[in-house]
Amino acid sequence: MKYKSVGLAVFSLLILLAAASCASAPPPEEPAPPVEPAPPPVVVVPAGPDQAAVNALNAAAARAEAARKLVSELEGETFFPDEWQSADSLYSQAEQQRNNSTTQSVQDSTARYNRAADAMEALAEKTIAAAYAYAEEELTYVRDKAVAAGAQALIPDFLLDADNMVLGALEKYEAKDFYAAKDAALEAYTMYSALIAGIEAYKLRMELADYGLDIYDPVRIGLIDDILYSAADDYEAKNYESAKNKAEEALNSYNTTLRTAWETHSMKKRLDASAARQGALDVRANTAMKPEFDSAEAVYNRANTAFNAGRYNEAGLLYMECEAMFELAAAGALDKRLAAEEALRRANQRLVESDEIARRSEELVGGGVQ
């Protein structure tokens, strides 16, 4: 029991000491509350464009492109260079800045295309009017040229085909089918051009025949004839571009052949005219038929001038003309010579007869005296 009392006293003392120690020491700090992490920043992602906005952009781009194509194909750049440069600048800007990532960028792009389309469509209206006026002027000119060449008289049906094509172009223009109108107008121009080339080629062919020049190169001329016939076949088959090309080929070939033939012919006629001139001189036509000879000489000199200048068709015709003139002068001189000789013969005959009469008279007189 004594032991237990001592132990209890010591335990109590320890408790008191501990209490005293706690009373003199500062109270322990309470632990800080845990720090919550800051929430992540809110990133606002722009909403993507809806399909309606994208469709509007595509429509505006297509509208601008179509207007630009129309102006370009109708040569608006040529008719109105300043307006074209301005409108095309807007179109290039719209193309370069096209953006469909957000609704706002799509709307901005659409607005740029619409501005370009407005400018191009305004220019298209001016270009269409100018192109129509130009086409009308050109078609009138080429048709008048075809008529002047002889289309109305020689090939009226072919001319009517071209006229009908022009009417078709006008109908398409009035229906605002501008591409088709342009194609029809170009087709009509090609048709008129084919008629002109074909008629001019035909005229050269007739010149070769009329002056007998086709004897100089008959094989080549036959080949050219085939080309011209083929051009006519193509025209009837409505292959107008081919008809035009073949007619122009025939025209150029006839031109070359005709020039060569005239050169050969004029050289031949030059020799003939020179021989006729010498024949006239031999019978003294330069004195007996001086006015006629001088006229022939003037034509002969013109022929030489044309020949030396390479104008062989002109020279050939002039040589033919003066050849006949020299021959007439020579014939006239010869007639005069023959007439003079006949007069002299008659005069001599009369002298002979006079002498005979005189002799007989003398004989008679003499006989009477006897």
Q: State residue 12's pLDDT score.
A: 42
**pLDDT tier, 360 (very low <50, low <70, confident <90, very high otherwise):** confident
Asked whether residue 120 is assigned to any structural domain, the reply reads yes
Burial class (CB in 10 A: 0-12, 13-18, 19+), 211: middle
List, for residues 191-236, the tens digit of each pLDDT value: 999 999 999 999 999 999 999 999 999 999 999 999 999 999 999 9
Query: Which one, of 251, 253, 252, 269, lies nearest residue 313 by Cα?
Result: 269
Q: Is the pLDDT of residue 84 over 90?
A: yes
**pLDDT tier, 49 (very low <50, low <70, confident <90, very high otherwise):** confident
How many domains, in total, are found in the chain? 2
**Listed residues 114, 130, 146: the one ending a domain:** 130
Residue 122 CB coordination number (10 Å)? 14
Residue 164: φ, ψ to 5°: -65, -35
List, for residues 22-39, the tens digit of each pLDDT value: 444 455 555 556 656 656
Q: Is the pLDDT of residue 319 over 60?
A: yes
Asked whether residue 13 is assigned to any structural domain, the reply reads no
Tokens of 349: 């005959």
Q: State residue 100's pLDDT score.
A: 87
List, for residues 326-352, the tens digit of each pLDDT value: 999 999 999 998 888 888 888 888 888
Query: Which one, of 156, 187, 190, lies nearest residue 172 by Cα?
Result: 187
First CA to last CA across the chain, in angstroms?
255
| Integer angstrom CA distances of residue 61 from 73, 125, 204, 283, 362 | 18, 19, 56, 93, 134
Residue 72's domain comprises 48-130
Asked whether residue 59 is assigned to any structural domain, the reply reads yes
- Stretch 318-330: mean pLDDT, rounded? 96
Asked whether residue 143 is assigned to any structural domain, the reply reads no
Q: Is the pLDDT of residue 151 over 70?
A: yes
CB 145 within 8 A of CB 196: yes
Tokens of 125: 């209206």
